[in-house]
Amino acid sequence: MTMVKSPTQKKSNKLPTHIAKEANLVTDYLKYWTTRELNALNSARTPICRQTNNGYKIGLYRLAVFPNRTCTLYNAFDEIVHTFETKISAVLYTIYTIKNSFNTANEILQLDKEINKNYTDMLTLRSMIDNAVRRKDYDSVDIRSARLEIAQTKLSFARDKIVRLHNHAKYHKVWE
């Protein structure tokens, strides 16, 4: 059996050893410097927001933005933290977490969970009411209408409260 010589294994013209050593030292230093600077940026108390292909990178957190305007926040270990209704809430949650303001970050998270819950309840109840009207089941229409009104009230209250938090962060410039 004869072996065929591979065309990709051609030997290139090698650099002289002293030039190759210098080139390796320069590339090693650049790699070390880049790693050091990125770690300093990520560990800083001032969060740096960089845009990526499918979202944003804020400190060690990654924010994936979807076409339906929801945003999923991933922590440094690429685990899902939460899927936020708006990008503003996700960014503010991340900034407050990086700045160790956990009470405000937790408040944003709880309000967003309440908004998501009440919004899905509202959609479900509307669908149930439509089905009950088609079946002419007016007792369940009355019951679900009351629940729908409660869900709408809770949803508007939570949205108002989170807008107040957004405005507070905007005027006090929490990202600085």
pLDDT of residue 15: 67
The answer to the question of residue 22 being in a domain is no
Domain span including residue 117? 43-172
- Roughly what angle, to the nearest 10 degrees, separates helices 102-135 and 138-172? 160
| Rounded distance between C-alpha atoms, residue 75 and residue 164, angstroms | 26
* Assigned domain for 151 exists: yes
Whether residue 97 is contained in a domain is answered as yes
Q: What is the pLDDT of residue 149?
A: 95
pLDDT at 10: 58
Q: How far, in Å, CA of 108 to CA of 71, rounded? A: 14
Q: CA-CA distance, 119 to 73, in Å (whole number)?
A: 20
Number of domains present in the structure of the chain: 1
Q: Which amino acid is at 155?
A: L
**CA pair distance 81, 61, nearest whole angstrom:** 9
Identify whether 150 is part of a domain.
yes
Which pLDDT belongs to residue 54?
83
Residue 28 lies inside a defined structural domain of this protein: no
Tokens representing residue 19 in the block = 């030039």
Q: Is 56 within a domain? A: yes
Asked if 84 and 93 touch (Cβ cutoff 8 Å), the reply is yes
Instruction: Give the other-Cβ count within 10 Å of 95's Cβ.
Output: 23
**Is 9 a domain residue?**
no
Q: Confirm if 144 and 128 have CB atoms less than 8 A apart.
A: yes
State residue 21's pLDDT score.
84
Position 23 in a domain: no
pLDDT at 25: 87
Q: In whole angstroms, give the CA distance from residue 54 to residue 63.
A: 8
The predicted structure's pLDDT at residue 47: 65
- With a cut of 70, list the residues of the chain below it in pLDDT: 1-15, 38, 41-47, 175-176
